[in-house]
Amino acid sequence: MTKRETTSMKVGILDSTLREGEQTPGVVFTIDQRVEIAKALSDIGVQMIEAGHPAVSSDIYEGIKRIMKLKREGIITSEIVGHSRAVKKDIEVAAELEVDRIAIFYGVSDIHLKAKHHVTREEALNIIAETISYARSHGVKVRFTAEDGSRTDLNYLIQVCKTARDSGADRVSIADTVGILYPTKTRELFSTLVREVPGLEFDIHAHNDLGLAVANALAAVEGGATIIHTTVNGLGERVGIVPLQVIAAALKYHFGIEVVKLNKLQQLASLIEKYSGIPMPPNYPITGDYAFIHKAGIHVAGVLNDPSTYEFMPPETFGRSRDYVIDKYTGKHALKDRFEKLGVKLSDIELDQVLAKIKSNPNVRFYRDVDLLEIAESVTGRVLKPKPPENIEALISVKCDSNVYTTAVTRRLAVIPGVKEVMEISGDYDVLVKVEAKDTNELNQIIENIRAVKGVNSTLTSLVLKKM
Using CA atoms, how far apart are residues 439 and 390, in angstroms rounded to an integer?
Answer: 5
For 311, phi and psi rounded to 5 degrees? Answer: -135, 125
Looking at the chain, how many residues does it have?
468
Task: Tell me phi and psi for residue 112, to 5 degrees.
Answer: -70, -40
Catalytic residue status for 229: no
Catalytic site residue from 117, 138, 254, 299 = 299
Whether the Cβ atoms of residue 216 and residue 202 lie closer than 8 Å to each other = no
Q: How far apart are CA 149 and CA 155, in angstroms?
A: 11
Continuous segment of H or E residues that includes residue 48: strand 48-52
Enumerate residues 6+ apart whose C-beta is below 8 A from 389.
439, 440, 463
Task: Please state the separation of Cα 236 from the chain's center in Å.
Answer: 13
CA torsion, points 259, 252, 276, 238, in degrees to nearest 10? 110
* CA–CA dist 267, 174 (Å, integer): 30
Nearest to 13 by CA among 318, 263, 221, 287: 221
The conformation of residue 76, written as its DSSP 8-state character, comes to -
Residue type for position 209 = D
* Spacing of C-alpha 118 from chain mean position: 38
Q: Can you tell me the distance from the alpha carbon of 137 to that of 31, in angstroms, rounded to the nearest whole number?
A: 29
341/373 Cα distance (integer angstroms): 12
Cβ contact 217:206 at 8 Å: yes
* Structural element, H or E, at residue 297: helix 297-305
- Please, are residues 174 and 203 in contact by the beta-carbon 8 Å criterion? yes
Strand residues in 86-200 grouped as ranges (E): 101-107, 141-147, 171-176
**Catalytic site residues?**
299
